[in-house]
Amino acid sequence: ALRGAARRYPSLGVPFTVAAASLAGLPPLSLWVSKDEVLATALARSPALYGVGLLGAVIAAAYSAKAVWFVWRPEPSDVAAGWDTEERGTRHVSAFAPPALVALAGSAAVLGVLALLPVGELVGAQGAPAAWELALSAVLAGGAAATAWWWGDRPIPGTRPLHGWLGLERGAEALLVTPTMALARALATFDDRVLHRAVLAVPAAGLRLARLADRRAEFSISGAVAGVVAGARRLGELARRPQTGQLHQYYAQAAVALAVLALLVVVVT
């Protein structure tokens, strides 16, 4: 989908080209000097580290040139087939984007010229790269970029093992992905068979206990109520016994009550 994008959007393609050239470390762009500042420090510590850093700079130059080559190629006839493969694009460039990109690309192009001036000496910078280091990195970056541009999109022989990331993807899948997925499946099974059933069993047990407690409480309360009713009934029966409806019995009861009252008065006084 990026093939021909610079032709379709030249206001973005030109700043992208300048930025990619700066990323490649081509002189006199800014990354050419800043990269060699880092490499000079590495050389002071270890020549081997300097060599590794220089190799990384060459690879970055080749990849940057390859990206520029793709975006400036003519658009294929089926270019629309590569659109919206990851997310839906707008295919619209904001009016604010080109000025910002031009300013950034211009800074990347102009600030590198300061490396040709004795600015580092004026500010007292330490570990500045020597002239031969700047020349060597410039030649290597330019050669790598030119080679990548000339090679185009042809496959590079002998790089087939690199397509599988030297087996790192398979190793990561075997050592990390597969055990992690197995653990996830085991935890999911444990959740379904143990935790889920336990969650369902706890409320069921609580409901059974509540019903049992309700029955026992109901039995005890019902028994107490029945006892109170029986006692009240017994007291009522006892209270109704003197109520025969015969006057001589009422007189006799009143006489007995008065006699008891008189006896209490005598005892108390």
222-251 pLDDT per residue, tens: 666 677 777 777 766 665 655 555 555 556
Distance of CA 68 to CAs 24, 92, 106, 145, Å? 11, 21, 17, 10
Task: Please answer whether residues 22 and 31 qualify as being in contact, where contact means their C-beta atoms are separated by less than 8 angstroms.
Answer: yes
Q: Is 169 inside a domain boundary?
A: no
216 and 179 housed in the same domain: yes
Q: Tell whether the model's pLDDT for residue 141 goes beyond 80.
A: yes
- Reference 57, options 25, 16, 9; nearest CA is 25
Give the span between the Cα atoms of 185 and 175, in whole angstroms. Answer: 16
Q: Tell whether the model's pLDDT for residue 133 goes beyond 80.
A: yes
65 and 19 housed in the same domain: yes
> What is the model's pLDDT at position 85?
58
Total domains in the chain come to 2
> What is the model's pLDDT at position 124?
47
54 and 110 housed in the same domain: yes
Which one has a higher pLDDT value, 123 or 88? 88
Task: Please answer whether residues 128 and 115 qualify as being in contact, where contact means their C-beta atoms are separated by less than 8 angstroms.
Answer: no
Mean pLDDT of the chain: 76
Measure CA 223 to chain center. 63
Q: Is 259 inside a domain boundary?
A: yes
- Residues in CB range of 36: below 8 A, 6 or more apart: 129, 133, 134, 137
Backbone angles phi, psi at 69, to 5 degrees: -60, -40
Per residue in 22-72, pLDDT (tens digit) is 888 888 888 888 888 888 888 888 889 989 989 999 988 988 998 899 888
Mean pLDDT within 242-266: 64
Task: Please answer whether residues 137 and 36 qualify as being in contact, where contact means their C-beta atoms are separated by less than 8 angstroms.
Answer: yes
121 and 208 housed in the same domain: no
> What is the model's pLDDT at position 139?
92
pLDDT band at 123 (very low <50, low <70, confident <90, very high): very low
**pTM for this model (two decimals):** 0.53
146 and 235 housed in the same domain: no
182 and 240 housed in the same domain: yes
37 and 124 housed in the same domain: yes
Q: Is 165 inside a domain boundary?
A: no
112 and 227 housed in the same domain: no
153 and 180 housed in the same domain: no
Q: Is 190 inside a domain boundary?
A: yes
Structural domain harbouring 81:
5-86+100-157
Q: Which of 130, 157, 184 is the last residue of a domain?
A: 157
232 and 138 housed in the same domain: no
Which one has a higher pLDDT value, 168 or 122? 168
Beta strands in 52-179 (DSSP E): none
> What is the model's pLDDT at position 191?
83
Task: Please answer whether residues 140 and 148 qualify as being in contact, where contact means their C-beta atoms are separated by less than 8 angstroms.
Answer: no
Highest mean pLDDT among 116-125, 166-175, 234-243: 166-175
Give the span between the Cα atoms of 189 and 265, in whole angstroms. Answer: 90
Peptide bond into 161 cis (omega under 30): no
25 and 150 housed in the same domain: yes
